[in-house]
Amino acid sequence: MNQFKRILGFIWILLGPAVLGYLIYEASKKMSLPTSTSNDMLQWGIIIGIFVPIAFGFVIFGIYSIKGAYDLDE
């Protein structure tokens, strides 16, 4: 189980920046449409602003998982 947690740590480390990059890609795609308004920019800014700390939390959680902070004593 401890080895499984460490493998999941790598997944968390990769998942944070990947999802953040995907959100930025989608936001830029929506902003480039001719029908986009300032409300769209505001909404995407809020969404990305809220998710940035969550993505950093994913990375920190993964680092602690790889270091063994969540291992069970057997």
**Domains in the chain, number:** 1
Question: Is 74 among the domain residues?
Answer: no
pTM over 0.95: no
Question: Is 61 among the domain residues?
Answer: yes
Identify the pLDDT of residue 71. 85
**Cβ–Cβ under 8 Å, residues 2 and 71:** yes
b vs e for 18-52, b when ≥16 Cβ sit within 10 Å of the residue's Cβ? Answer: eebeebeeebeeeeeeeeeeeeeeeebeeeeeebe
Question: Is 73 among the domain residues?
Answer: no
The overall average pLDDT reported for the chain is 92
Is the pLDDT assigned to residue 22 strictly greater than 90?
yes
Ranked by mean pLDDT, the top range of 30-34, 35-39, 52-56 is: 52-56
Q: What is the DSSP letter of 73?
A: P
Is the pLDDT assigned to residue 74 strictly greater than 80?
no
Of the candidates 20, 14, 9, 18, the one whose C-alpha atom is nearest the C-alpha of residue 61 is: 9
